[in-house]
Amino acid sequence: MSSAVLRGMATLDVDRLAAIFRRGLGDRRLALCVHRIANVHREGELLPKLTMAAAQIDSMIEFLLAAARRHDRWLTISFDDGYRESAEYVLERAPRWPEVEWLYLVCPQKVEMRAGFRWDLAEIHRRDDPALDVDSIIFAPVDRCAENLRTDLRNLTTQPQFALADVETCERIQRMPNAELGNHSNVHHRPVLLAPDQFRAEIAASARDFARLFGPARHFAFPFGVPGIDFGASHVAALREMGGLEIWSTEPRPYKRREREQGAVLPRFAIDGTRDWRESVAHVAVRSLLTLVPRRSALEVR
């Protein structure tokens, strides 16, 4: 969707924008996927779309709740990857909006072993080599048993800008009445880049680690998460065989209440932190309207 269209919609008065959003949402539910919180982007930040100011997220939530004019728990705010500042945001905001469902998706082994993410490592290396092919770091083959033992990844989390929430902080989120933890795999690698046996071993190991730390997981979010690009039907089937999971993607659409069941592939709008909250709402509204035209989703729910 063009930036010009979103910017144009963002200039509409609040009532008009709310009406468009309400029309697109209808009686469906909505899940948003956010990653990081910061008031300003870091100089040279590799993935600025992942970072949004807390005040912008606040304004977006306030607008959505008011615009929908609903009293059921229809809105889910999820945070992927387990960064420390996003955990602090959830701990502070979840009590403010008890009508919202909050999900905090973590890589359990990374949380326990304090091992960071490859894209943050690539950001550091790119400072010394602006021509660096960052994908050669992010998507290089992974040894899932050794990944989170790497010294370079473990050193990352000692830097405040790359710090992850610790186990105790995650447990505090788990104890909140309207918040829940979920599994985001141990090594956060694109499923399509793993051999089938590697993927099955990875999700099994992360499920065991998650259960040991926090109890059995009820939610699993695919790393990267785009259906048909980052994961496929075989990956969904492997998760369904494990049972007891609600599976989350980053397919940008609302969903019907009946879709919210174990084994369903649930959609989330990945929020772009380079947009302001009005542009983000405009994106959600327009994509929601477009999904009212009957079509098959990227992956069937069943």
pLDDT of residue 296: 52
- Give me the sign of the Cα torsion angle 170, 212, 35, 100: negative
- Give me the sign of the Cα torsion angle 168, 177, 97, 59: positive
> Residue range 224-241: average pLDDT?
97
Do 261 and 29 touch, CB atoms closer than 8 A? no
In our burial notation (b when 16+ CB lie closer than 10 A, e otherwise), range 39-64 reads eebeeebbbeebbbbbebbebbbebb
pLDDT of residue 295: 59
Residue 298 φ then ψ, to 5°: -60, -35
pLDDT of residue 158: 97
Domain 3-290: CATH class, spelled out: alpha beta
- Residue 298 reports pLDDT greater than 60: no
Per the structure block, which two tokens stand in for 166? 């610790």
Residue 52 φ then ψ, to 5°: -140, 145
- Residue 300 reports pLDDT greater than 90: no
The DSSP H or E segment spanning 219 is strand 219-221
Question: For residue range 137-147, what is the model confidence (pLDDT) as tens digits?
Answer: 999 999 999 99
Structural domain boundaries in the chain: 3-290
The DSSP H or E segment spanning 209 is helix 196-214
The DSSP H or E segment spanning 111 is helix 108-113
pLDDT of residue 246: 96
243 φ/ψ sector (left φ>0, alpha ψ -120 to 50, else beta): left
> Residue range 90-103: average pLDDT?
98
Q: Kind of pairing, strands 101-106 and 179-183?
A: parallel
> Using 50, 70 and 90 to split pLDDT, how confident is the model at 301?
very low
Query: Average pLDDT of the chain?
Result: 95
Least confident of 2-16, 44-58, 80-94: 2-16
Share of the chain above pLDDT 70, in %: 96
CA gap 291, 24 in Å, rounded: 8
- Residue 52 reports pLDDT greater than 90: yes
CB count in 10 Å sphere of residue 114: 17
Residue with tokens 């809105």: 75
pLDDT of residue 189: 98
pLDDT of residue 263: 87
Nearest one of 159, 198, 171 to 112, comparing CA atoms: 171
End-to-end CA distance of the chain: 28
> Residue range 79-83: average pLDDT?
98
- Residue 16 reports pLDDT greater than 80: yes
> Residue range 199-215: average pLDDT?
98
pLDDT of residue 302: 41
Q: From the CA atom positions of the chain, what is the Rg in Å?
A: 19
